[in-house]
């Protein structure tokens, strides 16, 4: 069942970014990125490459290494610059077969566009919001996608591909201090174009969004009164009173089928 034997020869790259704790704002490993590392370690503990584009001195990177990595590859560049071009070139050269990322970064613009732009430049398929990679056989991977409402969808995709890892994937293992400080940073200096558009943006701490007010657009006093006092009620549904139990059950079944909740 475990895809380890087959995947051990695969080259898997997990892209990581520097995370930010949502409450305290402290630097940490990003939640989804660390899940991507965890998934990569599950698939191939030996051939996993963890890749970061930015500053190699960043402390947040050490907490990824603390998950038991021997080394982290870093493409050294200005953290605010556009990472897509250097990452794309590096992945093309390295012959990666599966690239795992988070869905959205926890710092910067956090648009979640990096996997899509990489897929577009490399010409690879992208599978968004992956919960698990079930099996890899004959160059085809079976991937479980996380859907809203706790559902899962199975998707088959041919290697190589890019997958963004959802928060529904397995939790990342604990990060230990010893391995974190022992890990090697393999630094490669690359050229990256500065993000000129972003210079003109104004960034402030998020302010609370105003709640939408319930505006009553009633013309008469009677309507206003009704709006203020009415209980929420459906528009008078169908009531089956005198039918037999079989007919009633039939009606319920029809509605369930129509809504598509029976699987």
Partner 1 sequence: MSDHNSHDVLRRDPRAEWIARNRLHPLHGTVASSETAEVRGPSGLLRKNPHKVGFIGPNGIKRIDRLKGNAAATGKGRRTGAAQDVQLPLHKVENPDFYIVVVPDMVGGRLTGHDKDVIGQAHKLAAGIEGNGAVLAVCFGQSKEEHFDTAGVDRLLLLDDELYEGYCPEQRLAALVQVEAVYQPKHWLFPDSVNGGSDLGSRLAARIKERPAVQAWQVDNQMSVCRGAGGTTDITRATSRLLMLAEECADQIDETRHEALPLELPVVPVVIAQLQDKGQVAVDPNAISLAEAEFILSAGNGIHNWDQFHEAAAVLGATEGASRVAVDDGFMPRFRQVGATGTWVTARVYLAVGISGAIQHMQGIGQCDKVIAINTDAGCDMVKRAALSVIGDSEEILSELIQQVQEFRTQSSAGGDQDAA
Identify residues 6-65 at the interface with partner 1 (CB under 8 A): 20, 22, 25
As a dihedral over the C-alpha atoms of residue 187, residue 195, residue 86, residue 37, rounded to 10 degrees, the angle is 70
In the list 47, 94, 117, 175, the residue contacting partner 1 (rule: CB under 8 A) is: 117
Burial of 162 per CB tally in 10 Å (0-12, 13-18, 19+): buried
Shortest Cβ 159–partner 1 spacing (Å): 11
Nearest alpha-carbon partner for 76 in 96, 46, 103, 52 = 52
**How, if at all, do strands 71-76 and 48-54 pair?**
parallel
- Only one of the segments 3-11, 47-55, 85-93, 230-238 lies at the binding site for partner 1 (rule: CB under 8 A); that segment is 230-238
How far apart are alpha carbons 49 and 96 in whole angstroms?
9
**How far apart, in whole angstroms, are the C-alpha atoms of residue 27 and residue 38?**
19
Q: Where are the beta strands (DSSP E) in 60-124?
A: 71-76, 98-102
- The CB-of-118 to partner 1 minimum distance in angstroms stands at 9
Question: Minimal distance in Å, beta carbon 225 to partner 1?
Answer: 11
The residue among 150 and 178 lying less far from partner 1, judged by its C-beta, is 150
Q: Which is nearer to partner 1, 45 or 107 (CB)?
A: 107
Shortest separation between residue 61's beta carbon and partner 1, angstroms: 18
Binding residue (CB under 8 A) for partner 1 from 122, 157, 172, 180: 157
- Nearest distance in Å: CB 206, partner 1: 5
Pairwise CA distance, residues 108 & 231, whole Å: 45
| Among residues 204, 214, 228, 229, the one that binds partner 1 under rule CB under 8 A | 204
Q: Find the binding residues for partner 1 in span 232-261 (CB under 8 A).
A: 232-241, 245-246, 248-253, 255-257, 259-261
């Amino acid at each position: 069942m475990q895809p380890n034997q087959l995947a051990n020869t695969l080259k898997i790259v997990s892209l990581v970014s520097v995370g930010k704790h949502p409450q305290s704002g402290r630097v940490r490993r990003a939640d989804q990125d660390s899940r991507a590392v965890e998934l990569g370690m599950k698939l191939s503990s030996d051939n996993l490459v963890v890749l970061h584009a930015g500053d190699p001195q960043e402390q947040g990177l050490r907490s990824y290494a603390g998950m038991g990595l021997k080394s982290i590859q870093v493409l050294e560049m200005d953290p605010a610059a556009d990472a897509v071009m250097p990452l794309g070139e590096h992945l093309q050269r390295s012959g990666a077969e599966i690239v795992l990322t988070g869905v959205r970064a926890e710092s910067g613009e956090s648009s979640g566009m990096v996997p899509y732009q990489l897929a577009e430049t490399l010409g690879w398929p992208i599978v968004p919001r992956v919960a698990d990679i079930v099996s890899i056989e004959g160059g085809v991977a079976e991937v479980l996608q996380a859907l809203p409402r706790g559902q899962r969808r199975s998707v088959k995709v041919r290697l190589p591909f890019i997958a963004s890892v959802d928060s529904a994937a397995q939790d990342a293992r604990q990060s230990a201090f010893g391995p974190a400080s022992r890990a090697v940073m393999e630094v490669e200096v690359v050229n990256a174009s500065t993000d000129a558009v972003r210079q003109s943006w104004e960034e402030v701490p998020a302010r609370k969004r105003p709640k939408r007010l319930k505006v009553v657009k009633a013309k008469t006093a009677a309507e206003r009164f009704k709006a203020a006092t009415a209980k929420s009620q459906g528009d008078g549904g169908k009531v089956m009173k005198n039918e037999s139990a079989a007919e009633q059950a039939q009606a319920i079944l029809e509605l369930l089928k129509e809504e598509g909740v029976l699987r």
